[in-house]
């Protein structure tokens, strides 16, 4: 762990582990929860906790495209640095959006024609990998760009890769008081399922560190992932 950042998976999920209200990009917690009675009242607590997370944030281009960064006006500068794993979802505008927002912005890509290569900004850095290697990318984030602690806020599939490659150190979850259901709706950890007992060492065994009852029936739970 010493040669890569300390990582924390920070997410908002339902009681049944869903990180989206449905299986399409048209629905999203950030867009939908503010309009639902019983959920909108306590949602601000998640965003408040988010403001206290690490000064490096890890996301994916797909999630950020869904959030609209390819069309949004350029934001004001923050003290947060962002690393985004992306091959095809960010446009040049999306890259410039992150450059405007970030202290440092790192694009991790296996696409040699990624739009980031066409953008010239002092705080833009590119980690190009012919084949995706999350572990190597994290080591480079620490050694080249000074990332000591990293909050991961991505989708279930990438979370699954982090888990199976033992790249998570902590899990910090805000649980919303709702059941979503749906076999095709993304969960906290998706991706390839284990198929045999020889893979049991890939389980994420957790040690409880904190449980906090929030307002309006929301809960915050923090675990350390055991080696």
Structural domain boundaries in the chain: 6-225
Buried/exposed 214-226: b ≥16 CB within 10 Å, e otherwise: beeebebbbbbbe
CATH number of 6-225: 3.40.430.10
Provide the pLDDT for residue 196. 87
Give the tokens for residue 61. 């281009």
Give 171-199 pLDDT, tens digit per residue: 999 999 999 999 999 999 998 888 888 88
Q: What angle do CA 219, 78, 140 make, to 5 degrees?
A: 85
Rounded to 5 degrees, what are φ and ψ at 150?
-135, 125
Provide the pLDDT for residue 200. 84
Q: Model-level pTM?
A: 0.94
Provide the pLDDT for residue 175. 98
Give the tokens for residue 143. 């050694």
Q: State the CB neighbour count (10 A cutoff) for residue 196.
A: 6
Q: Is 223 helix (H, G, I), strand (E, B) or coil?
A: strand
Whole-angstrom distance, CA of residue 138 vs CA of residue 73: 30
**Regarding beta strands 219-225 and 206-213, do their DSSP bridges make them parallel or antiparallel, or are they unpaired?**
antiparallel
Regions in the chain scoring below 70 on pLDDT: 1
Provide the pLDDT for residue 192. 86
Give 135-177 pLDDT, tens digit per residue: 999 999 999 999 999 999 999 999 999 999 999 999 999 999 9
Give the tokens for residue 174. 């805000």
Whether the Cβ atoms of residue 124 and residue 95 lie closer than 8 Å to each other: yes
């Amino acid at each position: 762990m010493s040669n890569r950042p300390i990582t924390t998976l920070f997410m908002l999920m339902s009681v049944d582990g869903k990180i989206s209200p449905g299986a399409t990009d048209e629905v999203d917690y950030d867009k939908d929860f503010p309009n639902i009675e019983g959920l909108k009242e306590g949602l601000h607590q998640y965003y408040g906790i988010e403001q206290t997370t690490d000064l490096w944030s890890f996301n994916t281009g797909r999630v950020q495209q869904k959030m609209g960064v390819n069309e949004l006006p350029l934001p004001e500068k923050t003290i947060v640095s962002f690393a985004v794993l992306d091959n095809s979802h960010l446009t040049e505008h999306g890259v410039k959006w992150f450059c405007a927002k970030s202290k440092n912005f790192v694009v991790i890509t296996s696409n040699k024609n990624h739009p980031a290569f066409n953008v010239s900004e002092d705080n833009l850095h590119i980690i190009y990998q012919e084949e995706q290697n999350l572990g190597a990318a994290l080591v480079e984030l620490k050694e080249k760009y000074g990332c000591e602690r990293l909050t991961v806020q991505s989708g279930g599939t990438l979370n699954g890769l982090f888990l199976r490659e033992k790249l998570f150190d902590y899990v910090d979850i805000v649980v919303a008081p709702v059941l979503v259901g749906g076999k095709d709706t993304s969960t906290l950890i998706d991706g390839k399922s284990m198929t045999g007992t020889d893979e049991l060492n890939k389980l994420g065994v957790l040690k409880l560190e904190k449980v906090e009852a929030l307002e309006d029936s929301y809960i915050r739970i923090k675990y350390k992932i055991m080696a």
